[in-house]
Amino acid sequence: MTDVHNPERRSKNMRAIRSKNTVPELLIRKLLFSLGFRFRLHVKSLPGTPDIVLPKYRTAIFVHGCFWHGHDCHLFTLPQTRRDFWQAKIDANRQRDLRSEDMLISAGWHVLSVWECALKGRLKQEPDELAHQLTSLIRHNYPDVFRAEIRHR
């Protein structure tokens, strides 16, 4: 199947996709702030430039889009066109995520990934449930848990 847009229009559409300050990221930031957490944004000195960093708790939070990071959920579908390109791109994103998380963990940070499907779609979590999970994972900093995910119900 051919693309419904010409190359210039497709390029314009793709450039409009944000990597920072996305709607899911803003939702998590608003929720964390309302829970009393204070944080830094997009700390470039840390591996992977985490979306949200809570230095007090040594916790780095990544807010992942299910499509761009290839999450196994109802929001992800590999495009029908240029499948090899998209598969390679998503695989590279996943590998980069793992490398960044491993480097943060080896430096003593806790890593929390919040997936887009936890925030939107038919299986999204209730705000109270999401707040409880975030608070529990951040404040308790379980000594044996350095990597955690929040995903759809």
Mean local confidence (pLDDT), 55-60: 95
For the segment 112-150, what is each residue's pLDDT rounded down to a tens digit? 999 999 999 888 999 999 999 999 999 886 666 688 888
**Top-confidence residue, 71 or 9:** 71
Residue 138 CB: number of other CB atoms within 10 A?
Answer: 21
In Å, the largest CA–CA distance within the chain is 52
Domain range list for the chain: 19-150
Q: Give pLDDT, residue 60.
A: 96
Torsion angles phi and psi, residue 141, rounded to 5: 40, 60
Q: What is 19-150's CATH topology?
A: Endonuclease; Chain A (3.40.960)
Mean confidence (pLDDT) of the chain? 88
For the segment 10-42, what is each residue's pLDDT rounded down to a tens digit? 667 666 666 678 889 999 999 999 999 999 999
d(CA 121, CA 125): 9
